[in-house]
């Protein structure tokens, strides 16, 4: 009887977190792990666009994206096989910044038009990737530095030009 009470509390906690943060991760609410797609055109509003999520996964980021190092940094941390976000850019962006804000150590992996970019600890424990972006579709993963650790985060996308 005591074990079932603990299981119910854990399930309620997962449901509460998904409602509180508008997040999903396998085991919480959305079994696919992908939040709704973010579609942007130049001069989008509001600027920045923000979306909440939960970092982490069981797979090494370098294994999922088949690379250990990118021009923006190492592919550190652990992610799920499915991306956490899908970013669709309708046109070229001269200066677009994608960053993660979290109280814990997170990593950022982006794969899409033109290649793969990773970052870890651009600002304290928070990753950031900025620069020119081609029009196209990008898969975005927010990882945790340690395997199977899951942390709430806010993905922040801002046009800086």
Residue-range definition of the domain harbouring residue 112? 2-159
pLDDT in tens, 32-61: 456 779 999 999 999 999 999 999 999 999
Confidence of residue 158 (pLDDT cuts 50, 70, 90): very high
Residues of the chain with pLDDT > 90, as a percent, come to 72
In angstroms, the CA 86 to CA 66 distance is 19
For the cut 60, the answer to whether the pLDDT of residue 157 exceeds it is yes
Contact criterion met (CB below 8 Å) for 90 and 135: yes
Dihedrals phi, psi of 32, to nearest 5 degrees? -80, -20
In angstroms, the CA 2 to CA 40 distance is 49
For the cut 90, the answer to whether the pLDDT of residue 4 exceeds it is no
pLDDT in tens, 75-119: 999 999 999 999 999 999 999 999 999 999 999 999 998 899 999
Q: How many domains does the chain have?
A: 1
| The pLDDT value given to residue 87 | 97
| The pLDDT value given to residue 19 | 38
pLDDT in tens, 130-142: 999 999 999 999 9
| The pLDDT value given to residue 34 | 61
Contact criterion met (CB below 8 Å) for 120 and 144: no
For the cut 50, the answer to whether the pLDDT of residue 9 exceeds it is no
By DSSP bridging, strand 93-101 and strand 152-159 are antiparallel
| The pLDDT value given to residue 149 | 93
Q: Write the CATH number for 109.
A: 2.60.120.380
pLDDT in tens, 22-34: 444 444 433 445 6
Contact criterion met (CB below 8 Å) for 55 and 76: no
Instruction: Please list the alpha-helical segments (H only) found in the chain.
Output: 2-21, 61-64
Cα distances (angstroms) measured from residue 102 to each of 28, 76, 78, 105, 136: 19, 16, 15, 7, 27
């Amino acid at each position: 009887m005591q074990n079932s009470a603990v299981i119910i509390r854990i399930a309620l906690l997962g449901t509460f977190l998904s409602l509180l943060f508008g997040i999903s991760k396998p085991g919480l609410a959305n079994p696919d792990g992908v939040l709704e797609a973010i579609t942007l055109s130049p001069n989008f509003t509001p600027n920045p666009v923000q979306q909440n999520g939960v970092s982490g996964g069981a797979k090494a980021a370098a294994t999922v994206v088949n690379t250990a190092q990118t021009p923006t940094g190492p592919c550190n941390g652990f992610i799920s096989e499915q991306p956490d976000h899908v970013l669709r850019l309708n046109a070229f962006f001269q200066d677009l910044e994608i960053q993660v804000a979290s109280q814990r150590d997170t990593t950022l992996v982006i794969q899409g038009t033109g290649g793969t970019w990773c970052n870890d600890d651009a600002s304290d424990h928070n990753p950031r990737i900025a620069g020119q972006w081609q029009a196209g579709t990008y898969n975005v993963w927010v990882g945790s530095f340690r395997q199977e650790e899951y942390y709430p985060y806010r993905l922040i996308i801002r046009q800086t030009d």
